[in-house]
Structure 1
Amino acid sequence: VMLGLGAGIDYALFVLSRFRVELAHGHPPVKAAGHATAAAGHAVVFAGGTVVVAILGLMFAGIPFVGAMGIAGALTVGVMVVAAVTLLPALLGLLGHRVDALPVPRLRKRGTPRPDPDDENTLTYRWGSHVHRHRVQYAV
């Protein structure tokens, strides 16, 4: 159960963060959900597929109980992947801008605007640019 919960939250955050970027770019909610799934869906399916294949490796442990746990874990992660690329975009399209209706305490001070996703002064943007400029060194 915890494996499915962790994978589901991780995959949902991929899609949700992309959905927020698309909303910030002015797309209507349904179109933003489609763009988010098109952009983040590939990463979700690839990551989930990798986890499923790795967990299915437990079937070769030679212990029936461990093999059964591998199958159950792989099915759980597979269901979370399917939910992240089908159910979640549908819910995001319905929720639209209300996706941020409930405040998360201490995440952001009330009244401050959400950071611009294309802002080049953020730590993550600068770090990503640095890694991209020095990709050979980071690949080694």
Structure 2
Amino acid sequence: MHKHYFEALDKSMRFLLRFHNPGSAGMTFGGKTVVLGGDFRQILPVIPKGTRQHIFGATINSSYLWKNCRVMKLTKNLRLQNLQEDYDLREIENFSKWIADIGDGVLGEANDVDCDITIPSQNLLHCGDDPIATIVDSTFPLFRNGNYDHTILQH
């Protein structure tokens, strides 16, 4: 989301909470804890026809609020806990590390404008005539065979 949404929330909470606690007018979000989720390295605000500077300038990291934020990182991949086969476990661990390395700026060759990143072949979907079917089959492998959970579709 654009940083202006968070800044508007901050100002509104400061204004509203000052009636209950006059000191909250000088506190970020009126002294209330606000939890934001997501990976700020991978999810950028959409700025129609915006330049790189416009997009970066719209991130929460560029807000006056950022100096008061505490970044907490997940250290355990919960998807890995439910896997039984070692092959699947290693594959997802490798993919998770690759994604984290991209977010940390470890991978890729930087130039003045962009960063070129090579996607490993094991992370690519190789499709034939129907790319949508390839994506669906990869994401929901049991769906085509009819082995899906019918209760999900009833809700």
TM-score, length-scaled by structure 2: 0.26
TM-score, length-scaled by structure 1: 0.29
Point out the structure with the larger helix share: 1
Of the two, which has the highest radius of gyration? 2
Taking CA–CA contacts closer than 8 Å with sequence separation of 6 or more, which of the two structures ends up with the larger relative contact order?
1
